[in-house]
Every structure is written in C-alpha cells, then in structure tokens.
Structure 1
Amino acid sequence: MPDILFFISFFLLGAVTGLCAGLFGIGGGGIMVPMLTLLFAAHQFPDTHLVHLALGTSMAAIVPTALASVGAHHRHRAVLWPVVLKIAPGIILGTFAATFVASYLPAEPLAIFFSCFMACVALQMILDRRPAPTRQLPAAPTLAGVGVGIGGVSALVAIGGGTLTVPFLTWCNVRLPVAIGTSAAVGVPIAVAGAAGYLINGWTVAGLPDFTLGFIYWPAVVAMSLMSFITAPLGAKLAHRLPVSQLKKAFAALLIVLSLQMLYTLTTATAANPPAKCQSQNHC
C-alpha cells in the first residue's frame, strides 16, 4: 500500500468516525479499532502488537473529540460536574490500570474481548432498550468504584465510556440529555488516562513503526482528529433529519462485521507470521 494512500485512509477513517459519533452519539472506538487493525496489518506493522497499536491510537484520537464534545454539552448546561468529579478518580484508576493488563495480553484475546463487547453494544442498539430509572445516584465511594469498572472496560476496547456511563446514569434517574452530557465529560479522563497508559506501556517495546510513541501511531491520531472535528457537527445536524433509529440498526450490523473482520485479519496475519520464540522478558 503506497504511503500516500495509507495516510489518506486515516483522514477518511476520521471523517467516518466523526460523522457516526455526531449521528449516533457514540465514541469512535467501535470503528477505529478494527479499521486501524486492518490498515496496520496491510502496512506490515508488527503482528504481535496490531491490536495494542489500534487501541492506543484510538484512545489518543478520542481525546480532542471528547474535549470538543464536553464543551458543547457544558454550554447547554447538560453536565453534572459534581458527579464527574466523584466518578473521575475511579475512572482514571480503572482506565490506566487496564492499559497495563491489555499491554501484556496477546493480541488474540484482546481482539476476542473487543468483538464480544461490540456485539453486545450492537445488540443494545438494535433493541434500543434503556434501564428503568429505579434509584438515585450513589455516594462518592460507590461512584468511584463504578468508575473503576467503566474505565477498565473502556481501556480494553478503546471507547469513551458512553455505552456504559449513559445506561448507569439513566438507571440512577438522570435525564437522558444530562446523562449523555455527563458521559461526554467522563470520556475526557478515560481518553487521557487510556492514551497515557498505552503510551507508557509501549515506550520500551522494540520494533514498533516510525512516528510511534508507545502504542500510539501519531500520524493516524492527527489525521483522524482533524477530520472528526469537521464531520462530527455534520453528523449532529443529520441526526435531526435522518431516520436515526433505522440507521442505528444498520450501524450495529456494521460494528459486528468490522469486529469479525478484525478477528479474521489478526488470525490471518498470525498464521502467516507465527511469533518467534521470545528473546526477552519484555512484552513477550
């Protein structure tokens, strides 16, 4: 694949990710991770770290989008900042710790976990079921504990946490628009802690591509972030004009297809290039 096409693909991926984020109100990890895995494999990135690079790069690309999103929700007074402050310590701890777990796991289990999680997300989108509001928000220690779980899962699948945070908040009697806005604010520490964790864990790994720091491939981050900034507002506008409920079902099917494609790509790459015996104790 020529380099120019390789980099153009990141702009296109960022455009699609931003459009879907604005249209469906979800993070971009479900699209970015499988597509980055495919692109990295096509460009002969190290097979053993394809998924780690996809996760780290996706997390870093979510940071600017999350900041822009929370700014928009804050202007509409749709962010419960006291809740964000109480859940953020657990979010940061869970996200950061999970990057260490992910970085020492082989690529195949990570890909399987990602695919299973995306299948659950897709099913939720198809059924469009939300938990009934049956209780109030818990105390700060419990919120922090919930944050650890949300952050941990988010780091393993490179999402901003909305698929977990929004259902939890609506279950706690938070109105949906405010739950979405608060979830967007929670997505900032998730993205920052996740990107930092993948950067640190990949820092000493040998044989990674040029322009990579840790498990983050920065040309992709820059290109995707630029385009998602442009297309996310367009997606938000289209959400008021298009039959989003029907489109969500098609998008859910796309998530499943992309996840299966990622598994196939990883399996094919591993079969073609079986891992050599480990020569060191670092990230074997």
Structure 2
Amino acid sequence: MGLTGVGGGSLMTPLLTLLFGVSPTVAVGTDLAFASITKAAGTFTHRLRGTVDWQVVRLLCFGAVPAAIVATLGLKHFGALDKEISQIIRYSIAGSVFLTVIALLFKARMLAWLNAHPEKQLQGKQLTAATIIAGALLGTLVTISSIGAGAIGATLLVMLYPRMPSAQIAGTDIAYAVPLTAIAAFGHWWLGSIHWDLLGSLLLGSLPGITLGSMAARAVPEKFLRGLLATTLTIVAAKLVL
C-alpha cells in the first residue's frame, strides 16, 4: 500500500485465504475491519489538506451504505459461513481482483479518452445518478469481497469526474470508503466473521510496512510498481479460481 497506494484489500484478502488458510468470509470481514481503521486515519490527513470533495462523498454513500446493508442481510440469509457461500465469496474475490487489475492497467487510457471526447462526460442529474449507482455497485462489491474501494473506486471517480485533481480523487476515494467499510465490517461482526487477533496482528504490521513502502516508493518508478502489482494480482486471482 505504501509503494502503490492500492493493493490493501485486493492483496490482503486473497493472501489470507491462500497462504494462511483463513476462510474467505473471515478474510473479508477481518480485512474490512482493518480497512475501516486505516482509511479513517487517511481521511483525517486528507481533510486537513482540503483534498476531499464532500459532495461526491455524500453521493457515493447514498448508494454504497444501503447496498452494504442489503448485501450483509443477504449474506446472513444465505449463511455467510456455509461452505457453498464461502466458495461464492472466493469467486467474488477473484472477480474483484481481476477488476482491480483492469483498473490499474487502463485507468490512464480511459482518462485520456474522456479528455479527448468531452461530449461523452456526464453532467447534472445524469452525473448525480451515475455517482449514486457507482456507490451502490462498490458497496455491494466491497461488502462481499472487501475489494473495490481502492483502485476500482478511484477509477470510477476518474471516469465520472475527469477534471477532479488527482489528490482530490485519492482523498474522496478514501473518505467515502470509511463509512462503507465501517458498516460492512459491523455487518461481518454481526455475522461472526471477524478474527480479532488476526486484525490486531495486521494493524501492528501495517504501520511500519506502509512507512517503509512510502519511503521506498520515491526510488522506484510508479509504472514498474503498478505493472508488478497487476502481475501479482493476476496470478492471485487465477490461483483463487483454480
């Protein structure tokens, strides 16, 4: 996360499943609790810098929060800890990872296309409706797989608001994810799918890890890092499916 700004959920959740044998549902719930804490700290920093568009945050939350609640109730109804549901969640994680790879690789091209075709950019009520719908999609995706609030969310923001500065894209993406991940994490706590000891260990490791990664990021080209991350995520997603 310190090196690239993304990869927390998209790497952590599948690695908890593949390397440590954590069930997909527990991996999702624990990662959501982790994300709600770390993103809250990030939002505080972005708020001090004035790099959050709170109107866009509200629109995203109008879609994301109800979707997270509905998705949680769906998991409760179908039995989140059942083996069949865990397998579905495993495939959902793989699909979310593939979407993250696409977002990483093609975000710049999509932005360039939008800038070359300004007539295709949404305005007014259409933009408002599209933002709420994007929030609902992200809310469902994040609650089920814990993946999507980072790279996918940022890519959707770039597509909907191509004129928004990069720093504001990052700040807005983090800020809307705080209530989303918090509500989704609360839902998974209700479902009994959070491993609290594991969460504590992740938090202890993440603080020095993010610091070291942020320091090293200055010396490593971003293009190389994103390519490496995209390759790693593709391998992880394929492993989850196979």
Superposition TM-score, scaled by structure 1 size: 0.71
Contact 1:160 1:187 in 2 (8 A): no
Query: What is the 5 A alignment of 1:157-196?
Result: 157-159=145-147, 161-171=149-159, 172=161, 173-196=163-186
Deviation at residue 126 of structure 1 after TM alignment: 3.3
Superposition TM-score, scaled by structure 2 size: 0.82
The match for 2:94 is: 115
Deviation at residue 141 of structure 1 after TM alignment: 5.5
Contact 1:67 1:188 in 2 (8 A): yes
Superposed CA deviations along residues 204-234 of structure 1, whole A, max 9, x for unmatched, are xxxxxxxxxx100001111112221232233
Deviation at residue 236 of structure 1 after TM alignment: 2.5
Secondary structure, counterpart of 1:216 in structure 2: coil
The structure 2 residue matched to 1:34, chosen from 14, 19, 22, is 14
The structure 1 residue matched to 2:36, chosen from 56, 59, 63, is 63
Size of the aligned set, in residue pairs, is 225
Looking at CA atoms only, which structure, 1 or 2, has the larger radius of gyration? 1
- Report the residue type matching 1:26 in the other structure: V
Contact 1:34 1:261 in 2 (8 A): no
Q: Determine what percentage of the aligned residue pairs are the same residue.
A: 24
The match for 1:245 is: 223
Secondary structure, counterpart of 1:186 in structure 2: helix
- Report the residue type matching 1:162 in the other structure: G
Q: Which runs of 5+ in 2 are unaligned?
A: 79-83, 116-120
Deviation at residue 39 of structure 1 after TM alignment: 4.7
Superposed CA deviations along residues 75-111 of structure 1, whole A, max 9, x for unmatched, are 2211112221232232111122223334536222221
The structure 2 residue matched to 1:226, chosen from 194, 204, 219, is 204
Q: Which runs of 5+ in 1 are unaligned?
A: 1-20, 203-213, 265-284
Deviation at residue 257 of structure 1 after TM alignment: 2.0
Q: Specify whether residues 228 and 90 from structure 1 end up closer, same or farther in structure 2 by C-alpha distance, changes over 3 A only.
A: same
Contact 2:96 2:147 in 1 (8 A): no
- Report the residue type matching 1:24 in the other structure: T
Superposed CA deviations along residues 2-48 of structure 1, whole A, max 9, x for unmatched, are xxxxxxxxxxxxxxxxxxx121111511111112113553xxx6xxx
- Report the residue type matching 1:71 in the other structure: F
Structure with greater proportional helix content: 2
Secondary structure, counterpart of 2:95 in structure 1: helix
| Mapped partners of 2:30, 2:171: distance in 1 | 24
Query: What is the 5 A alignment of 1:95-110?
Result: 95-102=68-75, 104=78, 106-110=85-89
Secondary structure, counterpart of 1:106 in structure 2: helix
The match for 1:5 is: none
| Mapped partners of 1:140, 1:255: distance in 2 | 32
Query: What is the 5 A alignment of 1:11-160?
Result: 21-41=1-21, 50-102=23-75, 104=78, 106-129=85-108, 130-131=110-111, 132=114, 134-136=121-123, 138=125, 143-159=131-147
CA RMSD of aligned residues (A): 2.3
With a CA cutoff of 8 Å and minimum separation of 6, indicate the structure with the bigger relative contact order.
2
- Report the residue type matching 2:140 in the other structure: G
- Report the residue type matching 1:96 in the other structure: I
Superposed CA deviations along residues 150-172 of structure 1, whole A, max 9, x for unmatched, are 21112222036122322222222
| Mapped partners of 2:223, 2:129: distance in 1 | 36
